[in-house]
Structures are given as C-alpha cells and as structure tokens.
Structure 1
Amino acid sequence: MLKGIPPILSPDLLKILTEMGHGDEIVLADGNFPAASHAQRLIRADGHSIPDLLKAILTLFPLDSYVEQPITLMAVEPGDGGEPVIWQQYQQIANEKEGKPISIDMIDRFSFYERAKETYAVVATGERALYANVILKKGVIG
C-alpha cells in the first residue's frame, strides 16, 4: 500500500498512467466495448465502474490543458435514446478534479473505435451503463 494512491488503481494501471506522456490517450471502456480487440495495451478493471475509476485516475492524471476538449465520449447512435445520465457524472467529476469547467467532445461510435485503436491503453471495466466509454488525453503537471 502507498499513501495517497486510490486503492482502486491497480499496479498495472498505475504503471500505464506513469508511462503515458503529454498528449497520450487512454480509454475507460464499458463492459460492452470490444476492449481486447482494440487495445495496444489492455488493463482489466472488472467489477469497477467508470465513475469510480475516473475519480481515482483524475486524482493523479492531469488532463491536457493545451487542447479544447481533453475528454471524448462516444455519441449515442440515432434511435438509441437520449443522453446517458452517466455523462453528467463524468462532467461533474472532471470539473471537480480539474477545479474548472472541462469541455467534452463527442464522436460517433465508429470514429471512437478507430481512435481507441491508437490510444496508449484501454481499461476494460465492469461498467454496465450504455455509451459510457470515455477517452482521456494526458496533460502536463505545471
């Protein structure tokens, strides 16, 4: 155990977060996301929700302040319903952890899949909410 490290963050996830540099991206994938087939590096976080992981990760991980939208979500496909409630949680967590309002981008499902293939890592979670996938872009510590 280490002081100040959220216990939800596994040693493998901590290693990935440490290895990442400015501009690198990581996906927090819901349980429906094809994580294994889209990951260059796959981290398992089964049984954990994305909001809990997001809170813990953003305790250590600076979002990129040099881009307009350091967080990207998978947009809902036409006909699949309205905005997922979980997105409001993401916005609240990001704003709180960064100490200011954070702008969030939306991209369509297939663009999200292609971008996920290029990210540094994918974290496969047990999140059950639909359209809960999120990409975080790492910033710098000033």
Structure 2
Amino acid sequence: MLKNIPAILSPELLKTLCEMGHSDRIIIADGNFPAESMGKNCKVIRADGHGVPELLDAILTLFPLDTYVEKPVNLMQVMPGDTAKTPIWDEYKAIVAKHDERGNNAIGQIERFEFYEQAKTAYAIIATGEKAVYANIMLQKGVV
C-alpha cells in the first residue's frame, strides 16, 4: 500500500504511467472499444468493472498533460448521422478542468477511424467496463 495514490490505480497501471515518457499517449477505452485488436503493439491493461470518469480523475492526479500541444486530451468524435448523445463528455470536461488550468481548451476531438489509427500507436490502452458510447479518451503525457 502507498499513501495518496488513488486505490483504483492498479500496480500495473501505476507502473505503466511511470514508464511513459513525454508525448506518449494512453487511451482510456469504453467497454465497446476493440482494445485487444487495437493494442496488439502496446500494453493493454484491463480495468473491467470501472468507469472511464473514475479512472480519468485518478490518472490525472498523477499524470501531467502535455503543454507543448494544443489538445493533449482527445475524444472520439461522433460519426456523422449518429444520434448518440455524449453526456459523459461533460464529466470529462469537469475532470480535466480540475487537473489542468486549460480546462475545456485542452480537449479536442478526433474522427472515429483516425482515433483507431492513433490508438494503434499508443503506449497503452486501458480497457474499462464503461457502458457510455463514444466514451473513449486519449491523453498525451507532458513533463513533470
């Protein structure tokens, strides 16, 4: 046990966050995301039973966002014509604002298939049990 480390962060996830360098990216994926097929060349960390907002908040207590890029946080854009609602994004905005002074200005969107391509080059993918749709979020690490 360690003090001041959010309990939701497993030893494997803590190790991965520590190993990551500046500009490395990590995906916190919803339950529908093809984590295993996208993560063939990176680490896939299982966090079944956990939601994305809880993990995002815990990770951002330790993880600096990149200040050298305009949008170090990226969401998977809703497909044109899709009527899915994304209320979870409001939670993400509040969490990012809690941990980064840029707040909503640090958050961008990436077209769905481009998000998949970028996920293939991520350092790690966290596969969660999140049930919300379009709940995938990509974080780019900064410096401490």
Category of TM-score, reference length = shorter chain: over 0.9
Displacement of 1:78: 1.4
Partner in structure 1 of residue 51 of structure 2? 49
Partner in structure 2 of residue 135 of structure 1? 138
Q: Please list the CA deviations of residues 77-131 of structure 1 after superposition, one character each: whole Å capped at 9, or x if unmatched.
A: 1121255011111111001112442421111111000000000000000000000
Partner in structure 1 of residue 7 of structure 2? 7
Q: Superposed, which structure 2 residues align to 1:91-102 within 5 Å?
A: 91-101=93-103, 102=105
Aligned-partner residue type, residue 109 of structure 1: R
Partner in structure 1 of residue 68 of structure 2? 66
CA distance in 1 between partners of 2:138 and 2:90 (Å): 15
TM-score with structure 1 setting the length: 0.96
Q: Is 1:38 equivalent to 2:38 in the alignment?
A: yes
Structure 1: runs of 5 or more not aligned:
none
Structure 2: runs of 5 or more not aligned:
none
Displacement of 1:74: 0.4
**Matched residue pairs, number?**
141
Structure 1 residue runs of 4 or more that deviate by more than 3 Å after TM superposition: none
Q: Supply the RMSD in Å over aligned alpha carbons.
A: 1.0
CA distance in 2 between partners of 1:103 and 1:3 (Å): 29
Partner in structure 2 of residue 27 of structure 1? 27
SS of the aligned residue for 1:65 comes to coil
CA distance in 2 between partners of 1:119 and 1:33 (Å): 14
Aligned-partner residue type, residue 114 of structure 1: E
- Structure 1 residues 83 and 68: CA distance shift in structure 2, 3 A: farther
Aligned-partner residue type, residue 22 of structure 2: H
CA distance in 2 between partners of 1:44 and 1:82 (Å): 26
Q: Is 1:126 equivalent to 2:143 in the alignment?
A: no
CA distance in 2 between partners of 1:68 and 1:107 (Å): 13
